[in-house]
Each structure stands twice: as structure tokens, then as C-alpha cells.
Copies of this chain bind each other. A is one copy, B any other.
Amino acid sequence: MARNKHPEETLNLILDVAFRLFMEKGYEYTSIQDIIDNLGGLSKGAIYHHFKSKEDILVAVTDRITAESNQMLAAIRDRSDLNGKEKLKTIFKESIMRPVQNDIFTAAPDFHNNPKLLFSLLHDTIEEAAPNYIFPILLQGISDGSVETEYPEQLAELILLAANVWMNPMMFDSSEEESYRKFMVFDQMLRGFGLDIIDREMIERLQELTAIYQDNK
């Protein structure tokens, strides 16, 4: 068959198909052959031109979701109608409410068998999200009096590690009850920095996502 002349389109097609299959079948149960079979006649060579392994595809799928998430984070960070604490609350709420979360928790990748994905999550959290989005918001919070810390850079890291890694049910295979208890400890931790931002709606949503994960893992 003819070679694809638009690598960008091919790439996006692969990611769309892979994401849908990971979602429907779960990451562990999707093979590269399954992805090829759903690419409408695209060759094995075309997919290996872009990706070395299934894990590489997962990282690229995750990166695309992260890029969308970063746009949302930037928009909240740059609002002028909220103080630091309100921005942080808005970020948590919008992050956890995003419908794509249902898809991610349905795909339920097993991080223990995907070290690249774990590193990609850790790297993105510590090197990108913390300094670019949470740190400037905490800085604002210090100057408007809504956040209590002398070390906003480090607090940004700790908050995101707790939220994105520790409280991620896919990371530590938490039950709904455990997710709830982690969120309560996270709330108490945040209050130590003046941040009373966790509400019932967020807690219920985390439990809902945990249930989706537990049903699909």
C-alpha cells in the first residue's frame, strides 16, 4: 500500500486508536497488533517508525493528555479574579472533574509493569507541573496572605507528589475506602499550610474514579 505522506496525521491516528483501545480493553490487554488492526490498513512499519514499543505509545498518549491538562493549569494560573488559595482549589477541582479522567481510570495502566510511565509521571510532576503552575500560584498566595509557607517551590512539589502519585489509585492500587482516607490526610496536611480547599464534591469524585479503576483493572 501507499506510504503515508503526513507523518503528523499518522502519529495522531495511532494515538487516537491506541487511547481508545487502552480505554476499551485496558492497557495490559491491548497488543501492538490490536492497534495495527485498527489503523485501517496502516503497516506495522508505519507504527514502528514512530514507536519502539507499546510502552512508548502509552507515554505518548499520556503526554498528549498532559499537554491538554497544562493548558487548563495555565489558564487558571493566569486568572486575575482569584487569590492563590482559590486558584489552587480551582485547579484541584477542574483536574479531578475532567471527563478524560474516566477514560484514564478505565484504561487503568499498571504502573508497576510500566517503569517508563512511572518516570514520565514523576518527571512531569516534579520538573514541569510543580515549578510552572503550582509554584507561581503559591507565590501569589504568600503575597496575598492565603498560603502559609516560606518555601513555595518545595511545597509545590510535595503537594503534587501527594496528589498525583500517592493519591493516584492506579499507583498504589487503593480501594475506595483507602482513597477516602488518603484524601482526608491530604486535607489535614494542606490545612497546615493555610489551605482549606478540599470539599465533599472532590472527595466523592476521587471515590468515583477509584471505583472505575477497581472495576477495570
Count of chain A residues with a beta carbon within 8 Å of a chain B beta carbon:
29
Smallest CB separation, A163 vs chain B (Å): 11
Q: Are the C-beta atoms of A166 and B172 separated by less than 8 Å?
A: no
Contacts of A157 in B (CB 8 A): 166, 182
B178→A188 contact, CB < 8 A: no
- Answer whether residue A64 sits at the interface, using C-beta atoms and an 8 A cutoff: no
Known: A188-B192, A192-B188. A166 touches B155 (CB 8 A): no
Q: Is the CB of A181 within 8 A of B154?
A: yes
Of chain B, the residue at the smallest CB distance from A157 is B166
User: Which residue, of A151, A154, A161, has the highest number of chain B Cβ atoms within 10 A?
Assistant: A154
Interface of chain A residues 123 through 166 with chain B (CB within 8 A) = 126, 149-151, 153-155, 157-158, 161-162, 165-166
A149 and B115 form a contact (CB under 8 A) = no
* A44 beta carbon closer than 8 Å to chain B: no
**Shortest distance from the beta carbon of A35 to any chain B beta carbon, whole Å:** 24
Residue of B nearest to A112 (CB): B119
Q: For the complex formed by this chain, how many copies does it contain in all?
A: 2
Instruction: Please judge, given known A-B contacts A161-B161, A161-B166, A192-B191, whether A155 and B185 are in contact too, CB under 8 Å.
Output: yes
B115 A151 Cβ-Cβ under 8 A = no
Give Cα distance in the complex from A149 to B151, angstroms. 24
Is A184 in the interface zone, CB < 8 Å from B?
yes
In chain A, positions 163-192 with a C-beta closer than 8 Å to chain B are: 165-166, 172, 178, 181-182, 184-186, 188-189, 191-192
Chain B residues positioned under 8 Å from A29 (CB to CB):
none
Q: Determine if A154 and B178 form an interchain contact, defined as CB atoms under 8 angstroms apart.
A: yes
Return 6 A-B CB contacts under 8 Å, by A number: A115-B115, A118-B118, A154-B178, A154-B181, A158-B186, A192-B193
**Which A positions have Cβ atoms within 8 angstroms of B?**
112, 115, 118-119, 126, 149-151, 153-155, 157-158, 161-162, 165-166, 172, 178, 181-182, 184-186, 188-189, 191-193
